[in-house]
Amino acid sequence: MTIDLNADQRTTTTTSTGTPVAHALRGLLGGRVHLPGDPGYDAARLPWNVAVDQRPAAVAQPRTAAEVATVVRVAAAAGLRVAPQSTGHNAGPLAAQGLDDVVVLRTSELSSAVADPARGIVRVEGGALWEPAVDAAAAHGQAVLHGSSPDVGIAGYSLGGGIGWYARKHGLAANSITAVEIVVADGTLVRADAHTNPELFWAVRGGGGSFGVVTALEFRMFDIATAYAGIMMWSLTEIEPVLREWAAWAPSAPDDVTTSFRAMRLPDMPDLPEFLRGQELVVIDGAVLGSDERGAELLGGLRALRPMLDTFARVPAKELVRLHMDPEGGAPFASDSSMLGSFPDAAVDAFIAEAGPDARTSLLMAELRQLGGALGRAPEGAGALARLDGEFVSFAGGIAATPEMGAQAYADAARLTAALAPFANGGAYLNFAENPVDSRTAYDAGVWRQLTGIRSAVDPDGVFAANHPVPRLFEDGRPTS
């Protein structure tokens, strides 16, 4: 393992008008490098979560893996750090670290997605979004382990774990990755798979963006052309029987089904379909991998509670990428999340007190995702995040159109987390952690030691800045950034 003893002496020169090195980068990439003070800087630095005010030393938008390597080499040589960012869905914890000495490397120009049915994989570039990969797989009657949103970046989602509608059957997206191509700290582009650089391959599958800039990923397709999927809706006033039924059923439901439960207070906004505007609702959505009869049987208990809308039916798999109706193109949001080891009746009461019809809250949504099934088991040859411990993960948040609204939404989300704390298992699901957290809590102690060792070896000078960093180790075992 390489140990960095001089990490705290690294040069971190920057000025509000950009460092000489940032100017040098502009010489190499032209108009695709944006410095503070440039007319294009504010648009270039804007992340998907537009409430996050990230102000890096520069934003670089390379078009090729070779250009990614150039950015890393030039920035590292001058003591600047590099933060790979696909979309900025999870920009909050990165911005909170302070970005004065950081080049945000926006991978959005690296966006292709191509299915290779002969190899049973989809190959995407490092900035690709989920929708094109879903479409590429669907053209061959196949599906990939996407999440609830079509415009989340595949790299950030998959490197952080990745829970989607097939998760209880097929596990985390991270463990469907078969290879990555990644620019490491010395600017070399390397391939990592089960046979080549296997330690790096293990680390990126769940260890996040601390190890380099991923310029391409390959991941498995699954033989799924259709699913029994949809949405059930009730008025929020019906939350108690519905949450009790769902929370009792979900932990021991078969692996074929993956669902989510949300208490929602929708704003009266013209972007929403009219029947949803200003409504307070309970929403359960998800997918069953099996016959219609099997789906009807599994969801029978919820149907007996007479939802006012029930769209569960056989649908093409590609439609699942918009099932959850996530906002697209960017939104101001503040949130909090926790991992729940169990969800007994007292947890139902606590959830309803904070998010039910009588709660005084700014939360747009308070969500529970159903874990268990394959998510709870480590598959053969898994990466650093082999499985998730817990029955549910909670994610709650609200609109942060102003800093005051953001503070209120975060406070309300944190209050829900606190109310559910007796049922939390102390872990974290880093993809849903949109504030700085202790990344250690997401891994077993042995996995964490191995991750910090690999980071120290592949990035001894701390070139990469990640939203949820895996630190390097000093010789005495103390971690650094």
Residue closer to ligand FAD (CB basis): 160 or 356: 160
In one letter, which amino acid is 461?
D
User: Nearest-CA neighbor of 11 among 1, 3, 20?
Assistant: 20
Q: Which is nearer to ligand FAD, 87 or 338 (CB)?
A: 87
Q: For residues 408 and 224, what is the distance between their CA atoms, to the nearest angstrom?
A: 42
Interaction site with ligand FAD (CB under 6 A)? 84-91, 94, 107, 126, 147-149, 152-153, 155-157, 159-164, 208-209, 213-214, 326, 431-432, 466-467
**Cα–Cα distance, 454 to 396 (Å, whole number):** 33
- Give CA–CA dist 232/248, Å, rounded: 17
Find the shortest distance in angstroms from Cβ 478 to ligand FAD. 22
- CA quadruple 350, 355, 358, 359: dihedral, nearest 10: 90
CA–CA distance, 233 with 335 (Å, rounded to integer) = 23
Compute the least distance from the CB of residue 297 to ligand FAD, in Å: 26
CB of 121 or CB of 192, closer to ligand FAD? 192
Q: In the bound complex, what is the minimum distance in angstroms from residue 153's beta carbon to ligand FAD?
A: 3
Task: Choose between 138 and 385: whose C-beta lies nearer to ligand FAD.
Answer: 385
Cβ neighbours for 349, distance < 8 A, ≥ 6 positions apart: none
> Are residues 298 and 255 in contact, defined by beta-carbon separation less than 8 angstroms?
no
Q: In angstroms, give the least distance from the CB of 339 to ligand FAD.
A: 13
Q: Which is nearer to ligand FAD, 161 or 398 (CB)?
A: 161
Main-chain dihedrals φ then ψ at residue 306, nearest 5 degrees: 50, 70
CB of 158 vs ligand FAD, minimal distance in Å: 8
Q: Which is nearer to ligand FAD, 36 or 160 (CB)?
A: 160
Specify the residue, 157 or 166, whose C-beta has the smaller distance to ligand FAD: 157
Q: Which is nearer to ligand FAD, 206 or 356 (CB)?
A: 206
CB of 348 closer than 8 Å to CB of 392: no
- Nearest distance from C-beta of residue 412 to ligand FAD, angstroms: 18
Strand duo 226-235 + 58-60: pairing:
unpaired
Supply the minimum distance, in Å, between the C-beta of residue 432 and ligand FAD. 6
Minimum distance from residue 256 beta carbon to ligand FAD (Å): 18
Tokens of 379: 């598959």
Q: CB of 345: closest distance to ligand FAD in angstroms?
A: 27
For the record, the structure tokens of 368 come out as: 């529970």
Estimate to the nearest angstrom the gap between the alpha carbon of 378 and the chain centroid.
Answer: 20
Q: Which candidate, 125, 120, 126, 146, places its Cα nearest to that of 135?
A: 146
Q: For the CB of residue 180, give the shortest distance to ligand FAD in the complex, in Å.
A: 8
Nearest CA among 422, 419, 469 for reference residue 443? 469
In terms of CB distance, is 286 or 453 closer to ligand FAD? 286
User: Coil, strand or helix: which one is 49?
Assistant: strand
Query: How far lies 115's CA from each of 19, 143, 183, in Å?
Result: 41, 10, 23
- Nearest CB to ligand FAD, comparing residues 127 and 295: 127
CA separation for the pair 121, 98 (Å, rounded)? 38
Contact 144, 222 (CB under 8 A): yes
The secondary element (H helix, E strand) that includes residue 396 is: strand 392-399
